[in-house]
Amino acid sequence: MGSVRWAFRCGSWTPSRSEWLFAAQCVQREEKDRIGQFVFAKDAKLAMAGRLLLRKFVCERMRIPWPQIRLERSPRGKPYLAAPLQVTTTADSAWSFNLSHQGDYAVLAAQQGVQVGVDVMKTTMPGSNSIPEFFRIMTRQFTAHEWSTIQSAGSENQQLAAFYRHWTLKESFIKAIGTGLGFNLQRAEFHLSAEPLTQGTVLHQTKMHLDEEPEEEWIFEESLLDAEHHVAVALGPANDGVSAPRPPPAAFTLLSYGELIASASPLTEEDPAYWDSFRMKAEAPQRQRDS
């Protein structure tokens, strides 16, 4: 059973003119147009990296030539491969993939034979609210057990990290099942591993209760991309209903820009005005720059 875990750090990517224009040539025209509409450069970079990650995966692991890849979105926003051309083996068609981007990273998780969802979140202070006020506003998103775990984590910063850890777990699950915003987050309750989450490790002992019943067939991988970024990968039951040994949890590989575009080929002509528009954007809202 194959697995892919890729991350690209957009926060440290300051694209040159040639890099940005080439990236724009290598995504579908409607994707390029949508990315160009972002007000801030940070959001445009995250979205661009996400589309390039998806195309890199389909090209290199599903073995579909870059120009023949057609990506679409479900009504709930989940990316999928539309009308794929013939792939080389039956196993290739069993891949499931998912994308997330937030904070400084775009990430992709893919797995053969099971549903997969991924979510990344940066531990950031909640704007103008204090942490207790932020938690009060978010009360309905977590169960009493989860709030107990979050609020017993230690300092306010540790509590905030525990909050985002739970949040990525919940989001990875609902992205895997494709339910979207209509899902009541309190239905999925997480019981964290007793082992601390540290950089350089991937935990997979956390368990989920769905509607108060333990879900033994779901596996959740948790890791830190750096001290501020939590990422969770949800892996569902086998698509064929046959339980099989799962591979060991996979760490995320951090890609360079060169690796991100290693298999890319242009789909459209170069558009110099696209660079002019991008370089006029502020990097991020003032509040994010201050933080």
Interval 133-180: pLDDT, tens: 999 999 999 999 999 999 999 999 999 999 999 999 999 999 999 876
120, containing H or E segment:
strand 114-122
Burial class (CB in 10 A: 0-12, 13-18, 19+), 144: exposed
Task: Give the pair of three-digit tokens for residue 133.
Answer: 């006020």
Question: What's the pTM?
Answer: 0.92
Measured CA to CA, the distance from residue 9 to residue 226 in angstroms comes to: 10
Task: pLDDT band for 248, please (50, 70, 90 cuts).
Answer: confident
Q: Nearest-5° angle of CA 154, CA 160, CA 163?
A: 105
Q: What tokens appear for 151 in the block?
A: 């609020």
Report how far residue 19's alpha carbon sits from residue 27's, in angstroms, rounded to the nearest whole number.
Answer: 13
Task: Show the domains of the chain with their CATH numbers.
Answer: 1-112+247-291 (3.90.470.20), 114-238 (3.90.470.20)
- Provide the β-strand partners of residue 13: none
